[in-house]
Amino acid sequence: MATFVSVVCGVALAMLLTWRKLPARHLLDAVVSAPMVLPPTVLGYYLLVSLGVNSAVGQMWERLFGTSIVFTLTGAVIAATVGSLPLVVRASRTGLEHVDPTLVLAAHTLGAGKLRTFFTVVLPLAAPGIIGGAMLGFARALGDFGITIMVAGSRIGDTQPASIFIYDAIQANREADANRMAVVMTVVGVGILYAVNRLSRGPHD
């Protein structure tokens, strides 16, 4: 779920940053990229303050849905999305920057609307970057620890990602479980990086 949300939001932000000459474009870029340099505890703190039970957003959410955002699956999805979003945006921007503007112009000249041009011209050409961003975002969300532990806690089968599972297993002296999960995460992470490299370089490199 976090990967889907980060891809949808990430592609939209990438299009905005790539194609729109906004006055505050560089500031927006810096804010979107901030999770890459800020400590996870700082990001988790900001989310707790803005989404917690005492915040306006948290109170509105509780009135609408009868539950809180923090320390739930919703909080875990938001935490993972915030951590992975910069990777998706950067990779998607790379893909969008490789789209030849003359092809977009040609599609418009032939009568294609903006939506049709996006799905038939832009999206196929930018797909390697977007797919690579989605894969990197998935890997980042899978391994998130700091933001998730602060915003969603650690509930088995609910808000516990693989990284927190390893931490809890070590605390409980379940080294075999920790070893197995660490191996799985390593294989998944290396496999994703390999696939992203192949996508970015092409099949003949």
Tens digits of pLDDT across the chain (205 residues)? 788 999 999 999 999 998 888 888 889 999 999 999 999 999 999 999 999 989 999 999 999 999 999 988 899 899 999 999 999 999 999 999 888 889 988 998 888 888 899 899 999 999 989 999 999 999 888 888 889 888 887 766 566 778 888 988 998 999 999 999 999 999 998 999 898 888 777 545 5
Cβ contact 133:7 at 8 Å: yes
- 70 phi/psi in degrees, rounded to 5: -75, 150
| Distance, CA of 166 to CA of 158 (rounded, Å) | 15
| Number of folded domains that form the chain | 1
| Distance, CA of 97 to CA of 19 (rounded, Å) | 9
Q: Sign of torsion, CA 110 111 115 116?
A: negative
Could you list the residue range(s) of the whole structural domain that residue 60 is in? Answer: 2-201
pLDDT, position 159: 61
Give the tokens for residue 68.
């809180």
The domain that contains 112 carries what CATH number?
A: 1.10.3720.10
Cβ contact 162:189 at 8 Å: no
Residue 49 amino acid letter: V
- 44 phi/psi in degrees, rounded to 5: -60, -40
Predicted structure pTM score? 0.83
Question: How deeply is 85 buried, as exposed, middle or buried, from its count of CB atoms within 10 A (0-12, 13-18, 19+)?
Answer: buried
| Distance, CA of 186 to CA of 120 (rounded, Å) | 36
| Distance, CA of 1 to CA of 149 (rounded, Å) | 18
